[in-house]
Amino acid sequence: MADATTPVAVAPAPTSKPAEKAKVVAPAYREYPTVPALKVDAMVESNPYVAAAVHNESVGFPGTLVDGWEQKAVAKMGELLGKYRSLRVYMDACVHCGACTDKCHYFIGTGDPKNMPVARQDLMRSVYRRYYTLPGKLFPKLVGARDMTKDVLDDWFRYYNQCSECRRCSVFCPYGIDTAEVTMAAKEIMHSVGLGHKYVNEIIGKVHKIGNNLGLPGPALENTLEGLEEDVLEDTGAAVKYPLDVKGAEVLLVTPSADFFAEPHVDSLIGYGKVFHAAGISWTLSSKASEAGNFGMFIGNYEQMQKIAMRVREAALELGVKRIVVGECGHAWRVAYAFWNTLTGVGAGANDPFAIQLQKQLDQNYKQPSHICEVTWDLIQAGRLKFNKEANDHRIITFHDSCNVARGSRMGDYAGGQFDIPRNIIRAVANHYVDMSEATTREKTFCCGGGGGLLTDELLDLRVKGALPRMEALNEIVQHNGVNFMATICAICKAQFTKVLPYYGFKMSMVGGVHQLVSTAIVLNNEQ
Amino acid sequence: MNLLFALLFYAATLILVGGVAYRVYEYARTPAPLKIPTTPAPTTTGGVAFRMFREVVFFESLFKSNLWIWALGWTFHLGLALVLLRHLRYFTEPVNFIIAFIQPFGMYAGFAMAAGLAGLWARRFLVERIRYISTPSDHLMLALLLGIAVTGLLMKFVMHTDIVAVKSFFLGLMVFEINPLPAHPGLYLHLGMVALLMIVFPVSKLLHAPGVFFSPTRNQVDNPRETRHLAPWAAKFEAKN
């Protein structure tokens, strides 16, 4: 389980397609990274499943599309315009310059013009102009303003569910307009009138009921962790512990629930445990907060996002931990790094009793929360971990920057640490590392194609097409450098690539976590 | 005609100043409840000021994004800035020496401005993606700006107007006196379009100018772990917890 050797996957052209999904075909690689010609309505058939009433209601939204939804949606937009400066400014500021038009992976993969970021924003901006600006009220045609109709709502549901909220467009916009903010607002509006997305709402329901996205109950979790301890003992001879709900542990590790049993995710979980073991740090997982992911962000709903984040605060207070560490998960790290201090007081620098209660308990010598990569890198720099780098010699490794880590968070002490620290770790534990084209890495990284709550089977066609730019960059170094392993620090990226790589002729085992590599090379104390 | 233009410019100035002030007030009072800087982002306020400076003066993000749009857009904006500065001589007496110094540059900046605008407009026809996203108002806005540039250049280089009288008209407006404006069709067109631009400014995409300063992805400091950031409406949820 720990270390599957990954054979070289050479892909001359993306022809491989599993038979049962004959409909879904990977687009051909572009000879040069040219901008695709527009294919109007190419993705008009791409719709996620609408949430059933029970799923909507379990998250506090109306079960089905409410009467008078048109007015209610417009009113909700007005409410959000008053609550979010981002939306307020971004509705006005766009000049239609077109700088973003070729930056979205879904546009590159599909050619559908409504997947150009500006066109996606305009689905909402046209309604904003109609109801909230004078020219839109007086001369709707002139400024491209539209009434809130069923056709418009259908387009919202289609195309706001073809945005993974990866923020690549916001890097390139001269005003920093972030389509993710618009998409989140659109989803919030749709949910508020009873038009929910099944996959996301089902998952949020599970988090509240069971504690994690995958619906893994406490006893099953305990079983899984015991199994891991046995496996690691057998593999390494070291009695590495994977503790659950241990009061008084120093570190509370909050990780995506996929880490508990999905491949290749679990190999990174094994790696975290080995790092804590080797460094002699006491740690624990929590059955209450057995999920780092926070799908509340995907639907732009502050209350849900906070409610989900509060589990972590409560677990930290109950267990009395000194440090909170987050596992390999992209959007979870954005929520943890950028939002937890706001939502729950996990952080520093508060002057209100709510946040101070927790911040007094936490050890402020460490960043709160810390990313597992920050923890590992600090230990490496302090000389507290030893590696047998040759153990990774069968791998030629590259690193895929996950969008939420790259463009929505940071690691370490300086801007851009989120790019260097994972790469530093890889170089510390392996001998062969190659970067992908710089137009597709660091803050210019392309989304895996499955983020933002789109990691669901009915959107597979979109996911395969959206992976095109990343697959092109990967293919280039597979051809030139024989790369056979793409490391990443995001549960969604791992699941998405596992599914999508075969469509491009690569082995699904090519993707894995950074701590999977750490796990392979780390020298455990018991062995000496 | 004199009275008409006088009233037009009073109204346009009121709408421009009042409208933009109101928009800025709206942007400023709307909270940004979460830390959302597009990272890597500066970790200090000084760093953010430097980032905004590069963004506003050099269009840094646009440069990274698309060299054509950047070259045309930056040429136009730089030209416009110089032309506007040059025009201050028609509103001030005595004329500041810096304004006097840039006169020759400002004159030719008019050509740069027109060329940039023409290029930006051509893209709206020639590039399929830009054609798709263009609305009639996008075209009209470029037509208006280009019209202002061309009529201005015509008066400077082809069919001169009595610029001394024009200056006395505007200096007069500032002390609520209406002096005669030269009867010149080019001048009427030029001034009419300028007034129209001032009027539509607060309700159009020209709001990108004040808007960029309020963009949370650009103006926020990347320090969420070090400082607690809480919007008033969001703080209310906390009481419930």
With an 8 Å Cβ cutoff, is A101 touching chain B? yes
With an 8 Å Cβ cutoff, is B226 touching chain A? yes
Q: Count CB-CB contacts under 10 A for residue A50.
A: 17
Residues of chain B with pLDDT under 50: none
pLDDT for A8 equals: 38
pLDDT for A6 equals: 37
With an 8 Å Cβ cutoff, is B55 touching chain A? yes
Q: Are residues A181 and A231 in the same domain?
A: no
A37 lies in some domain: no
How many folded domains does chain A comprise?
Answer: 3
Q: Do A410 and B40 touch (CB under 8 A)?
A: yes
A21 lies in some domain: no
Q: Are residues A73 and A183 in the same domain?
A: yes
Return d(Cα A466, Cα A449) in angstroms, integer: 5
Return d(Cα A157, Cα A434) in angstroms, integer: 39
Q: Are residues A433 and A518 in the same domain?
A: yes
Calculate how close chain A gets to B4, using CA atoms only, in Å: 24
CA atoms within 13 Å, Cβ hemisphere of A427: 9
Give the DSSP letter of residue A397. E
| A55, A233, A444, B109 from B103: Cα distances, Å | 67, 81, 42, 10
Return d(Cα A175, Cα A288) in angstroms, integer: 41
With an 8 Å Cβ cutoff, is A90 touching chain B? yes
A28 lies in some domain: no
B192-215: per-residue pLDDT in tens? 999 999 999 999 999 999 999 999
Domain-terminating residue out of A164, A196, A228: A196
Position A379, amino acid? L
Per-residue pLDDT of chain A (528 residues; tens, 9 = 90+): 334 333 333 334 444 444 444 579 899 998 777 788 999 999 999 999 999 999 999 999 999 999 999 999 999 999 999 999 999 999 999 999 999 999 999 999 999 999 999 999 999 999 999 999 999 999 999 999 999 999 999 999 999 999 999 999 999 999 999 999 999 999 999 999 999 999 999 999 989 888 888 888 889 999 999 999 999 999 999 999 999 999 999 999 999 999 998 999 999 999 999 999 999 999 999 999 999 999 999 999 999 999 999 999 999 999 999 999 999 999 999 999 999 999 999 999 998 999 999 999 999 999 999 999 999 999 999 999 999 999 999 999 999 999 999 999 999 999 999 999 999 999 999 999 999 999 999 999 999 999 999 999 999 999 999 999 999 999 999 999 999 999 999 999 999 999 999 999 999 999 999 999 999 999 997 544
With an 8 Å Cβ cutoff, is B213 touching chain A? no
pLDDT for B239 equals: 62
Q: Are residues A88 and A140 in the same domain?
A: yes
Which member of A92, A141, A419 has the closest CB to residue B207? A92
Calculate how close chain A gets to B231, using CA atoms only, in Å: 9
The closest alpha carbon to A440, from A466, A417, A469, A398, belongs to A469
Which member of B207, B214, B228 has the closest CB to residue A345? B228
Q: Report the Cα A418 to chain-centroid distance in Å.
A: 14
| B9, B12, B20, B191, B209 from B17: Cα distances, Å | 12, 8, 5, 18, 13
Q: Do A92 and B138 touch (CB under 8 A)?
A: no
| A1, A47, A128, A166, A384 from A401: Cα distances, Å | 25, 28, 34, 11, 26
With an 8 Å Cβ cutoff, is A121 touching chain B? no
Q: Are residues A99 and A230 in the same domain?
A: no
With an 8 Å Cβ cutoff, is B217 touching chain A? yes
pLDDT for B240 equals: 55
Q: Are residues A250 and A365 in the same domain?
A: yes
Q: Report chain B residues whose CB lies below 8 A from the CB of A178.
A: 36, 38, 217
Q: Are residues A147 and A294 in the same domain?
A: no
Ramachandran bin of B50, using left for φ above 0, alpha for ψ from -120 to 50, beta for the remaining angles: alpha
Domain-terminating residue out of A332, A347, A373: A373
What domains are there in chain B, each with its CATH number? 38-220 (1.20.950.20)
Q: Are residues A91 and A224 in the same domain?
A: no
Among A85, A167, A302, pick the best mutation site for testing chain B contact (most B Cβ within 10 A). Answer: A85
Return d(Cα B126, Cα B123) in angstroms, integer: 5
The closest alpha carbon to B193, from B93, B112, B101, B117, belongs to B117
Domain-terminating residue out of A318, A347, A373: A373
Which member of A171, A176, A414 has the closest CB to residue B215? A176
Q: Report chain A residues whose CB lies below 8 A from the CB of B226.
A: 347-349
Contact A121, A179 (CB under 8 A): yes
Return d(Cα B43, Cα B224) in angstroms, integer: 10
The closest alpha carbon to A474, from A421, A510, A515, belongs to A510
Which residues, including other chains, have CB under 8 Å from residue A485's CB and lie 6 or more apart?
A6, A395, A396, A397, A398, A510, A511, A512, A517
For the domain that residue A181 is a member of, what is the CATH number? 1.10.1060
Q: Count CB-CB contacts under 10 A for residue A138.
A: 11
The closest alpha carbon to B190, from B26, B9, B14, belongs to B9
Q: Report the Cα A338 to chain-centroid distance in Å.
A: 14
With an 8 Å Cβ cutoff, is B133 touching chain A? yes
Give the DSSP letter of residue A522. B
Q: Report the Cα B59 to chain-centroid distance in Å.
A: 14
- Range(s) of the domain holding residue A64: 53-196
Q: Do A414 and B43 touch (CB under 8 A)?
A: yes
Q: Are residues A344 and A422 in the same domain?
A: no
Q: Report chain B residues whose CB lies below 8 A from the CB of A116.
A: 129, 132-133
Q: Are residues A318 and A443 in the same domain?
A: no
A46 lies in some domain: no
pLDDT for A16 equals: 41
Q: Are residues A339 and A406 in the same domain?
A: no
pLDDT for A233 equals: 96
Return d(Cα A283, Cα A274) in angstroms, integer: 11
